[in-house]
Amino acid sequence: MEQAMHGVQSDKPVTPLQISVTRAALALIVIACGLGLRWYGFPLGLPAFIVKYGGSLLWATMVFLLLGVLLPRLSRAQIAAIAVVIAAMLEFSRLVHTPWLDAFRLTTAGALLLGRIFSLWNLLAYAIGIVFGVWMDRLVEVRSLVGWTKAR
């Protein structure tokens, strides 16, 4: 116990459950930021570019983190690769138009989950968002390793 208080890490590894809980907490924060940006960005006078692509960036960060919650044993690189595939598939799905899909895209949930209009720029925002998610995940892991050992 004394070692943990002085910042020395325990030999006990962080469990997948602890990783998932941390990633879920981060995902909730990212979701709140993304919704806040989309709902309050324009009223606060933020530029359209920031609201649009900032939301896309945060959406991709959320995808990375939620995949990490569901797949805590995979490496960050594996999770990031899956997130890239999902984000690209979603963006290219916007080129598909069916009545029921277009009707869903017109709802708030549809707009937030699927988006409405295809844009190659979104792919860049997604890539940056996934890299941001990897960075956050790594930063929190490094800073929380000692915190998990203190609780033991």
Question: In total, how many domains does the chain have?
Answer: 1
Please give the residue range of the domain that contains residue 103.
14-150
Tell me, yes or no, whether 91 lies in a domain: yes
Instruction: Work out the burial of residue 10: count CB atoms within 10 Å of its CB; fewer than 13 is exposed, 13-18 middle, 19 or more buried.
Output: middle
Tell me, yes or no, whether 41 lies in a domain: yes
Confidence of residue 141 (pLDDT cuts 50, 70, 90): confident
Average pLDDT, the chain: 88
What pLDDT, in 10s, does the model give residues 20-51? 999 999 999 999 999 999 999 999 999 999 99
Token digits of residue 55: 């939301």
Tell me, yes or no, whether 9 lies in a domain: no
Tell me, yes or no, whether 5 lies in a domain: no
What pLDDT, in 10s, does the model give residues 74-129? 999 999 999 999 999 999 999 999 999 999 999 988 988 888 889 999 999 999 99
Q: Are 6 and 27 in contact (CB under 8 A)?
A: no
Tell me, yes or no, whether 79 lies in a domain: yes
| Separation CA 117–CA 124 (nearest Å) | 15
The percentage of residues in the chain with a pLDDT greater than 70, rounded to a whole number, is 86
pTM of the model as a whole: 0.82
Tell me, yes or no, whether 8 lies in a domain: no
